[in-house]
Structure 1
Amino acid sequence: MDKERLAAFTDAVLAIIMTILVLELEKPTHVTWEGIWELRVNYFAYALSFFWLGFMWLSHHNAWHKIKKVNNSTVVYTLLMLFFASLFPYTTSIVAQNFNNVTAQFMYGIVILLVSLSNIGISHSLNVANHGKYFKTLYDLNTWAVVLDLSIKVLGLILTVTVFPPAVLYAVLINVIILSISEFFKKDNN
């Protein structure tokens, strides 16, 4: 498969997922500042999911021009990543309506982890397909960044099921902040 075809497919599916996120936002019962404020958890969950997906797309986009070839594993891992990412509108709406519910938060966290693990698979398959060339794509498997990323998410899940149900959303928020700072400095250093 041509790498551009896979990139275009990924871009299209992620754009659709991000659009569905906004369509799933609950409408205020009364269009007042109080009515909008009552939905602050919905807006938080939406914004968090949107920007997490957006930074994932940015990471794909920034590294993709360096890639020469993709293989079947890359396609399979990409399909898995898109499948798990397609669950974001569903889990985001559940977590927004049940913010302090352990099960809702755990479901959201599992989707985040599965997308992350799929991205690790994509990164590995791209390095293999390009004959061991090291591209630092998506997840740099040889640095502390992937360990930190996954550790924060797993810690969020553990805290969610033990003491603080919304911990997984806050763990994702921390990751989004780290990703945005990382992308800002990557841009400035290139």
Structure 2
Amino acid sequence: MSKERLTTFIDAVLAIVMTILVLELEKPRSITPQGFWELRENFFAYTLSFFWLGSMWVHMHNEWYHAKKIDNKVTWTSLIMLFCSSLFPYATSIVASNFYNTTAQVFYGVVVLSVTLFNTIMYSNLKNANKDNEQLTRRLNARNKWIYYDIAVKIIGLISSIVFYPPAMIYAVLLTAIVITIFPLSTAKK
């Protein structure tokens, strides 16, 4: 399989997942400012999920640009990552409707951490498939330095959701999304 075919498939699936997110938004009981205000958690969860997935897509575009080869490991970990990503509309809908519910936040956190984990494994496999590509290796090594902090913050958010403050998970995802936007995962030059 060519790199282009896999990246096109990833782009298509992520575009569909991001589109389904908006279809899962609840409608206001009354079409008034108050009706929309009552759905603020829904809009927050939707916005965060959309931009988190969008950020992942942007980073993938930047990293995959330098890849020359893929192998079965890259393909399969990409597929598993996409499977986990496909749960985002469902998890977002649940957490949006049950914002202060521990189980809803933990489920959302498990989906986020699963996507993060398989995305990380996918990049590791991509790096191994392109061992002779110094530019890609440099970029992915820079990315790996950040990813441990990203995962740690999400795990702290998950534990905090379980122990004392359910929305801690979604706020941990917001924090990592902001940090990754300000300080890109890969700081190596193109």
**Please, what TM-score do these two structures have when normalized by structure 1?**
0.93
Where 1:136 maps in the other structure, the secondary structure is helix
Q: CA deviation at 1:146?
A: 1.2
Matches within 5 A, 1:100-179: 100-131=100-131, 133=133, 134-137=137-140, 140-141=143-144, 143=145, 145-179=146-180
Superimposed CA distance per residue, residues 98-120 of structure 1 (whole angstroms, 9 cap, x where no aligned partner): 11111100000000000001011
* Alignment root-mean-square deviation, CA: 2.0
Describe the shift of the 1:71–1:184 C-alpha distance in structure 2 as closer, same or farther (beyond 3 A): closer
Name the structure 2 match of 1:38: 38
What is the distance in 2 between the residues matched to 1:158 and 1:146?
Answer: 18
Structure 2 residue 28 is the aligned partner of structure 1 residue 28? yes
Structure 2 residue 68 is the aligned partner of structure 1 residue 65? no
Describe the shift of the 1:57–1:98 C-alpha distance in structure 2 as closer, same or farther (beyond 3 A): same
Contact 2:143 2:187 in 1 (8 A): no
Contact 1:63 1:135 in 2 (8 A): no
AA of the residue aligned to 1:105: Q
AA of the residue aligned to 1:130: N
What is the distance in 2 between the residues matched to 1:87 and 1:95?
Answer: 12
Contact 2:157 2:171 in 1 (8 A): yes
Where 2:143 maps in the other structure, the secondary structure is coil
Question: Structure 1 stretch 175-184 or stretch 86-95: which is displaced more?
Answer: 175-184
AA of the residue aligned to 1:109: G
Superimposed CA distance per residue, residues 15-51 of structure 1 (whole angstroms, 9 cap, x where no aligned partner): 0000000000001110000000000000000000001
Q: CA deviation at 1:63?
A: 1.3
What is the distance in 2 between the residues matched to 1:80 and 1:34?
Answer: 41
Contact 1:56 1:138 in 2 (8 A): no
Superimposed CA distance per residue, residues 93-146 of structure 1 (whole angstroms, 9 cap, x where no aligned partner): 0001111111100000000000001011111111111125415249822x2x11
What is the distance in 2 between the residues matched to 1:135 and 1:109?
Answer: 30
Unaligned runs of 5+ in 1: none
Describe the shift of the 1:53–1:155 C-alpha distance in structure 2 as closer, same or farther (beyond 3 A): same
Where 1:31 maps in the other structure, the secondary structure is coil
Describe the shift of the 1:62–1:155 C-alpha distance in structure 2 as closer, same or farther (beyond 3 A): same
Q: CA deviation at 1:186?
A: 5.5
Describe the shift of the 1:185–1:73 C-alpha distance in structure 2 as closer, same or farther (beyond 3 A): closer
Name the structure 2 match of 1:8: 8
AA of the residue aligned to 1:174: L
Q: CA deviation at 1:184?
A: 10
**Please, what TM-score do these two structures have when normalized by structure 2?**
0.93
